[in-house]
Amino acid sequence: MIPRLHLIVYFVLGEFHIFISLAAQLCLSRLGEEGTVVLADEKYWANYDGLQDAKHRLLKAYLGGWFPILASWQGRVLYIDCHSGRGRHKTGHVGSPILALSLLLDHSHRRNILVNTEVDFYFFEINEANYKLLLEEITSLGPVPSGIKIYPLHEDYETHLLASLQELREKGSQLAPSFAFVDPYGFSLSMDFLNQILSFPTTELLINFMYRYIDMAITHEGQDENMDRLFGGEDWRALREIADSTERSESGGPQRIVFVLFHHQ
């Protein structure tokens, strides 16, 4: 069982594993028009706060148990990081892609895992400067075992993956067992995309669900289209009838009224 960590309330809801963020990340300045939270990018990567540490500790705990399970699998498995970033903060702390790679490279069961299994790492990063720094971090790791394949991609993860899923359906093929970490800046998420990923039986998603910013957007009419995309419909608009944000968050338990609606989609 994945442990609950301080600063993040962690719930397991069906096939969704959702972080409910209770604290703002450093340097978050305003809601973007497309549902992103605009960051002072250099300041973000100059710091490494408690929330980032909690996310990475939870990811590490999960993958530490997930990788050994692969030892019983013969074939190919995928680890997908949808928002890889630079790979390392200026403080020296590693980001999620290097953390995931290092965890397998240093895993006590690595040899058993890779005997019959190929582990493919897909690292998506849309920002060109961040992507170049990510490549440097990957290169600095040196040669990796032949059973580990690394695919850094300077592309939009959703566009790429939806096209790949459609190709699989047209061929009547299945997606290889996959674990995807979805940790966007803000709440730029598509319920349709998430459901398409989960339509394949051997997939898991770990999602950073930025409750605070979603709650702010609920009352911001300029975010209607983004919120429809996030929740996969217009049911969320009923939350506007609860004017007080504290009441919205506490109705049915901390943040429950929002994340249960999200999960049920």
- Give the model confidence (pLDDT) of 169-184 as tens digits: 999 999 999 999 988 7
Query: Span 158-173, mean pLDDT?
Result: 94
pLDDT score for 23 = 32
CB-based contacts of 246: which residues, under 8 Å, 6+ apart? Answer: none
Q: For residue 65, what are its two tokens?
A: 């148990």
Residue pair 133/92 in contact (Cβ under 8 Å)? The answer is no
Q: Where are the beta strands (DSSP E) in the chain?
A: 8-13, 16-21, 28-31, 37-39, 75-81, 117-124, 148-153, 178-182, 203-209
> What sign does the CA torsion over 96, 101, 107, 109 have?
positive
Residue pair 44/88 in contact (Cβ under 8 Å)? The answer is no
- Give the model confidence (pLDDT) of 46-95 as tens digits: 788 777 888 888 888 888 888 888 767 778 999 999 999 999 988 999 99
Query: Span 203-220, mean pLDDT?
Result: 72
As a whole number of angstroms, the distance between CA 259 and CA 204 comes to 18
pLDDT at 188 over 80: no
- Give the model confidence (pLDDT) of 119-152 as tens digits: 999 999 999 999 999 999 999 999 999 999 999 9
pLDDT score for 234 = 63
pLDDT score for 129 = 92
pLDDT score for 243 = 65
pLDDT score for 130 = 93
pLDDT score for 51 = 76
Query: Span 175-200, mean pLDDT?
Result: 82
Provide the CATH number for the domain formed by 30-207 in this structure: 3.40.50
Domain ranges of the chain: 30-207
The neighbour count for residue 159, using CB atoms within 10 Å, is 12
- Give the model confidence (pLDDT) of 7-49 as tens digits: 233 333 333 444 433 333 333 333 444 444 444 477 777 788 7
Q: DSSP assignment, residue 151?
A: E
As a whole number of angstroms, the distance between CA 187 and CA 111 comes to 38
pLDDT score for 74 = 76
